[in-house]
Amino acid sequence: MELFYHTLANGIRLVHHRTNGMVAHCGLIINTGSRDEKTPEHGIVHLIEHMLFKGTRKRKAYYILSCLDNAGGELNAYTTKEETTIHASVLKEDFEKAVDIISDIAFNSLFPEKEIPKEKDVIIEEINSYLDNPGELIFDDFEEMVFSGQPLGRNILGTPESVRSFTRETLNDFVSRNYNPFETVFCSVGNIPEQKIVRLFNKYFGTVPAKKKKNRNINPAIYKPSLQIKKKDTNQNHCIIGNVAFNFKDKRRMGMFLLNNILGGQGLNSRLNLSLREKNGLAYNVESNYNAYHDTGIFSIYFGTDGQNLEKSIAIANSELNKLRRSKLGSVQLSRSKNQIKGYLARGYENHENLMLSLGKSLLVFNKIDTLEEICRKIDNISSSELLDIANEVFDPARLSTLIYK
């Protein structure tokens, strides 16, 4: 896979992959997320993401919302704990329009006073929808439990009280402190010549003023395993079991990625799916997840089950963890698991929107991008002994936390 790179004088980096096809994808990834909020700012990044669409110096909200949609394209954004991303998918002849509007809303948004109360109400309804969805809410509560007292543990949406407290001044102040060209990547995938990409990149991002790099305030996480049971008026019991895990730059991250897929990844043949759902019929939704951050990570198992089956389900889940701690994978099992994860990665590369976002995230975090071949070689180099060591560290029963909704 051939990649084209370019960096502007203000620090914004570009990565582009030229492909065939009628559709092009592009995005801007900013190294600012909810963990960069001070305590009174809980939820402000997410509100800013919404407000980016509400008007700039040269565009009204209606034009922003409709200009790409009218041509069959799509403009969207999302917030994570460490990034804010604005992205678009358009026909290739509309690519410049997409670059223009992404640049405009990222760097020229006005946060109109009259729009702020309406968008606060929208977000409060979003918060309410999460509160009505225990299968999603439990993940936020689990991270709050694992990263107790840390900005990383706070949910992205904020609270109704914190969201209502924000003003136009607080939004502008946060953007001024945290949105930095040196920590911003523009990524694109599509049938766009490199010369055109450079011209558009310079035209729409070259005039953005440079700033000093911000220092992300990272305090060493102090993790204490715990068990919490919360009473909820639900038809199912919901359960998460997990632990802290490896950060982005830890060499064990790839092994953890593979191990997580074996345990409860997207395959129907994952160990948790086979044991909890297929063999015992105890759960409809069952999965495991591993999320890496700059300084730490989190691993979790999730399932929902009938209350009378909760203890049995927990015992089966812990049994699967213990199997991975006690026994090395055989050569055939290991080979199959590696081939499965490599197949998932290859399929992901064929989805050009996902590829675009993946390229941007890799450049932002690592300042380099491994090819699919390089990633596959890293996977091939993982040994069963490495996986056993990882399993014994992350799946150690004495280190696991459990959160239950009853």
Among all residues, which ones are annotated catalytic? 49
Query: Do residues 186 and 360 touch, judged by C-beta distance below 8 A?
Result: yes
Give me Rg for the CA atoms of the chain.
22
Pick the closest to residue 181 from 217, 200, 207 (CA basis). 207
Pick the closest to residue 293 from 221, 372, 390, 395 (CA basis). 221
Tell whether the torsion through CA atoms of 91, 93, 94 and 96 is positive or negative.
positive
Residue 18, H or E segment? strand 13-18
In the three-class reduction of DSSP (H, G, I as helix; E, B as strand; rest coil), residue 241 is classed as: strand
> In this structure, what are the phi and psi dihedrals at residue 119, rounded to the nearest 5 degrees?
-75, -30
| Cα–Cα distance, 207 to 77 (Å, whole number) | 22
For the CA atoms of 259, 265, 269, 271, the dihedral, rounded to the nearest 10 degrees, stands at 50
| Cα–Cα distance, 242 to 222 (Å, whole number) | 15
CA 86 to chain CA centroid, Å, is 13
In this structure, the number of other CB atoms found within 10 A of the CB of residue 86 comes to 22
Residue 256, H or E segment? helix 253-264
Pick the closest to residue 115 from 68, 34, 33, 50 (CA basis). 50
In the three-class reduction of DSSP (H, G, I as helix; E, B as strand; rest coil), residue 188 is classed as: strand
| Cα–Cα distance, 56 to 345 (Å, whole number) | 38
Query: Do residues 15 and 84 touch, judged by C-beta distance below 8 A?
Result: no
